Homo-oligomer: A and B are copies of this chain.
Amino acid sequence: MDYDAIAEYIKRNNIRRILVQAPDGLKPLYLCIHRVLSGRAELYYSSSPTYGACDLALNEARRLRAEVILHIGHTEYPFLHIKPEIPVLYIPAYYRWTPSKKLMDDLADHLKSLNAQNIGLVASIQHTHSLEQLAEELEKRGFNPIIGSKPYRVADRGQIIGCDYTSAIAIEDFVDVFLVLAGGKFHAIGLALSMSEKKVLGLDPYTGKIWDAQGEARRILAKRYYIVTSLANKGFSSVGVVIGLKPGQYRPRIVHIIEEYAKKKSICVYKIVSEELTEDRLIAIDNALALDIYVVTSCPRLALDDLEGFYKPVLTPAEYVMLFTKDYTYRYPW
């Protein structure tokens, strides 16, 4: 983190109140911020989850009258519906990582077993800085690594996020296998869902595990198709459209499309507003309204991950549209 630049910004702009926000995994960085900036301005630390740069704490900042948000761990989100009324400093937090010789040898064996020569390399923001080195190591072992493109102005080369895979899509045609460098499974599964015919491997820099994201994505797709086709057969007469209000998750145009489809079939629509959609919030709504299905228009991953076990169908907008168009091509993210 470039503390000098932040301190300089505070001084130059005469900042008195700062709201700091970070995803839970990076909240320990609050300690570093406090050590360096305490005394230079009043510091407030958000306890909220922060799932991405779509999830700016603008409401918190407004109420506190903070003059700047320090947003840790993400680059600026290009699809914000609401232009922030106060400045946001995006502070990516990179993980320092050097792959071991053993890991690289294992990876090379794995790729050879897949007959892969052209390897597409992408990463979550924490790991984009390691892609160059990963590419070098793969080159040494006779592969042709291709780092993903720079998807938009403020992002890093090869960066993917939960709802944007353009850095990978740009190189898709030249690639035999994608390798996603990211902690956990979230990013690699997202990429595999967005291009279900392409082989996608995950490489977790924290555990050193190499895993088959395409396989996992296929299991998810099987479940999703089961939910959608059952519903297409059975029909439904009411839908709860969940509208997320985070600055990058409010998508009124999609809400409108969903309503229009429902109207044509005289399906009853309830528009449900959500600051933070968790299972207990959906239970509270369903206890009260007992609707047939729910469509989540905020983050396209909520239906697939957090709420995939809900006792009623919870769909992405694309899955909902399938019910009407009967075009069963899976579209992710949408």
Interface flags for A242-276 (1: CB within 8 Å of B; 0: not) read 11010000100000000000000000001111111
Q: A46-B273, A47-B273 are in contact. Are A289 and B82 (CB under 8 A)?
A: no
Q: A24-B284, A24-B287, A27-B285 are in contact. Are A45 and B273 (CB under 8 A)?
A: yes
Contact partner of A30 (CB less than 8 A), chosen from B44, B49, B270, B275, is B270
Tell me whether B64 and A245 are in contact (CB under 8 A): yes
Contact partner of A270 (CB less than 8 A), chosen from B45, B250, B289, is B45
Q: Is A39 an interface residue (CB 8 A)?
A: no
Q: Using Cβ atoms and an 8 Å threshold, which residues of chain B touch A275?
A: 48, 59-60, 275-276
Q: Is A5 an interface residue (CB 8 A)?
A: no
Tell me whether A274 and B242 are in contact (CB under 8 A): no
Interface residues of A in 275-314 (CB under 8 A from B): 275-277, 281-282, 284-285, 287-289
- Closest residue of chain B to A259, judged by CB? B42
Main secondary structure of the interface of A (DSSP, over half): mixed
Q: Is A63 an interface residue (CB 8 A)?
A: yes
Q: Is A322 an interface residue (CB 8 A)?
A: no
Interface residues on A, range: 35 or more
Within the complex, what minimum Cβ distance (angstroms) separates A70 from chain B?
A: 13
Q: Is A43 an interface residue (CB 8 A)?
A: yes
Q: Using Cβ atoms and an 8 Å threshold, which residues of chain B touch A282?
A: 47
Q: Using Cβ atoms and an 8 Å threshold, which residues of chain B touch A19?
A: 273
Q: Using Cβ atoms and an 8 Å threshold, which residues of chain B touch A150?
A: none
Q: Is A34 an interface residue (CB 8 A)?
A: yes
Interface centre among A28, A63, A272, A284 (most CB of B within 10 A): A63
Within the complex, what minimum Cβ distance (angstroms) separates A41 from chain B?
A: 12
Q: Using Cβ atoms and an 8 Å threshold, which residues of chain B touch A82?
A: 63
Q: Using Cβ atoms and an 8 Å threshold, which residues of chain B touch A45?
A: 270-273, 285, 289
Could you list which residues of chain A lie within 8 angstroms of chain B, going by C-beta atoms? Answer: 19, 24, 27-28, 30-31, 34, 42-49, 57, 59-60, 63-64, 82, 242-243, 245, 250, 270-277, 281-282, 284-285, 287-289
27 contacts between A and B (CB under 8 A): A24-B288, A27-B287, A27-B288, A28-B287, A30-B289, A31-B289, A34-B270, A42-B271, A44-B273, A45-B270, A45-B273, A45-B285, A47-B242, A47-B273, A47-B282, A47-B284, A47-B285, A48-B275, A48-B281, A49-B281, A49-B284, A57-B273, A59-B275, A60-B275, A63-B82, A275-B275, A275-B276
Counting from the closest, the 6 A-B pairs by CB-CB distance are A27-B288, A59-B59, A24-B284, A47-B281, A28-B288, A63-B245
